[in-house]
Structure 1
Amino acid sequence: MFRPLFVFIGTRYTRAKRRNHFVSFISLTSMIGLALGVVVMIVVLSVMNGFDYEMRTRVLGMVPHATIQGRQPIDDWQALAAKVKQNPEVLAVAPFTQMQGLLTHGGKVNKVLINAVDPAEEDKVSIVSGFLKQGKLADLEAGSFNMIIGDKAATKLGVVVGDKLTFVAPEVTVTPAGMFPRIKRFNVVGIFHVGAGELDGFVAMANLHDLALLQRWKPNQVQGLRLKFNDLFQAPRTAWNIAQSLAADGHEYYSLDWTRTHGNLYQAIRMEKSIIGLLLLLIVAVAAFNIISTLVMVVTDKQGDIAILRTLGATPGQIMAIFMVQGTVIGVIGTLVGAALGILAALNVSAAIALLERMIGHKFLNSDVYFIDYLPSQLMASDVLLVCAAALVLSFFATLYPAWRAARVQPAEALRYE
Structure 2
Amino acid sequence: MHLIWLLAWRFRSDKRQNGFISFISASSTFGIGLGCFVLIILLSVMNGFESELKDKLLSVIPHAEFKSVHPQGIENWQQEVSLLQSHPEVTFVEPYIKATGMLQKGNKMKAVEITGLDMEFANKGILPSLLPAAQWQRFVKDKNAILLGSGVMAKLGLKVGDRVQILLPQLSSDLSLSAPKTLNLDVLGSLDFRGELSNHIGFIHMSLAAEAQNIDFGAQGIRLRYRDPFMASSLTREIGFNLKPEVYMSNWTISDGNLYQDIQLVRAVVYIALSLVIAVACFNIVSTLVMAVNEKQSEIAMLKSMGAKNGLIVLVFMLQGTFNGLIGTALGVFLGVLMAMNLADIASMVEQLLGVQFLSGDIYFIDFLPSELRWHEVYMTAFIAVVLSILATLYPAFKAAKINPAKVLGH
Give the TM bin, normalised by the shorter chain. 0.7 to 0.9
- Partner residue in 1 for 2:175: none
Q: Distance in 1 between matches of 2:138 and 2:162?
A: 14
Which residues in structure 2 correspond to 1:16-415 (within 5 Å)?
17=15, 20=18, 22-70=20-68, 71=70, 72-74=72-74, 76-122=76-122, 124=124, 126-132=125-131, 137-171=136-170, 181-195=180-194, 197-217=195-215, 221-247=218-244, 251-366=245-360, 370=364, 372-415=366-409
Q: Deviations over 1:71-117 (max 9, x none)?
A: 22246543331122233332221122212122233533332112222
Q: Distance in 1 between matches of 2:185 and 2:315?
A: 79
Per the TM alignment, residue 266 of structure 1 is displaced from its structure 2 partner at its CA by 2.6
Q: Distance in 1 between matches of 2:367 and 2:288?
A: 44
- The unaligned stretches of length 5 or more in structure 2 are 173-177
Per the TM alignment, residue 40 of structure 1 is displaced from its structure 2 partner at its CA by 0.8
- What SS class does the counterpart of residue 141 from structure 1 fall into? helix
Give the letter for the 1:7 counterpart: W
Identity of aligned residues (%): 37
**Root-mean-square deviation over aligned CA pairs:** 2.9
Give the letter for the 1:221 counterpart: G
Measured at CA, do residues 13 and 90 of structure 1 come closer, stay the same or move farther in structure 2, by a change above 3 Å?
A: same
Q: Distance in 2 between matches of 1:130 and 1:415?
A: 83
Q: Distance in 1 between matches of 2:329 and 2:340?
A: 16
Native 8 Å contact 1:134 1:192 kept in 2: no
Per the TM alignment, residue 200 of structure 1 is displaced from its structure 2 partner at its CA by 1.8
Per the TM alignment, residue 391 of structure 1 is displaced from its structure 2 partner at its CA by 0.8
Q: Deviations over 1:227-283 (max 9, x none)?
A: 222333443444344344332xxx434432223323444333323321221112111
Native 8 Å contact 2:193 2:365 kept in 1: no
Native 8 Å contact 2:102 2:168 kept in 1: yes
| Segments ≥4 residues shifted beyond 6 Å | none
Native 8 Å contact 1:142 1:209 kept in 2: no
Q: Distance in 2 between matches of 1:164 and 1:326?
A: 77
- What SS class does the counterpart of residue 64 from structure 1 fall into? coil
**TM-score, normalised by the number of residues in structure 2:** 0.86
Native 8 Å contact 1:45 1:273 kept in 2: yes
Native 8 Å contact 1:97 1:224 kept in 2: yes
**TM-score, normalised by the number of residues in structure 1:** 0.85
Q: Deviations over 1:162-192 (max 9, x none)?
A: 333332323499xxxxx86433333333223
Q: Deviations over 1:300-330 (max 9, x none)?
A: 3322322222222212221111110011121
Give the letter for the 2:183 counterpart: K
- The unaligned stretches of length 5 or more in structure 1 are 174-178
Q: Distance in 2 between matches of 1:12 and 1:133?
A: 70
Q: Deviations over 1:177-228 (max 9, x none)?
A: xx86433333333223333x2312112222223323433457x812222222
Tell me which moved more, 289-298 or 321-330: 289-298
Measured at CA, do residues 255 and 161 of structure 1 come closer, stay the same or move farther in structure 2, by a change above 3 Å?
A: same
- What SS class does the counterpart of residue 86 from structure 2 fall into? coil
Native 8 Å contact 1:132 1:193 kept in 2: no
- Partner residue in 2 for 1:176: none
Q: Distance in 1 between matches of 2:338 and 2:20?
A: 31
Q: Distance in 2 between matches of 1:360 and 1:84?
A: 51
Per the TM alignment, residue 331 of structure 1 is displaced from its structure 2 partner at its CA by 0.8
Tell me which moved more, 145-154 or 12-21: 12-21
- What SS class does the counterpart of residue 112 from structure 1 fall into? strand
Q: Distance in 2 between matches of 1:147 and 1:82?
A: 27
Give the letter for the 1:224 counterpart: G
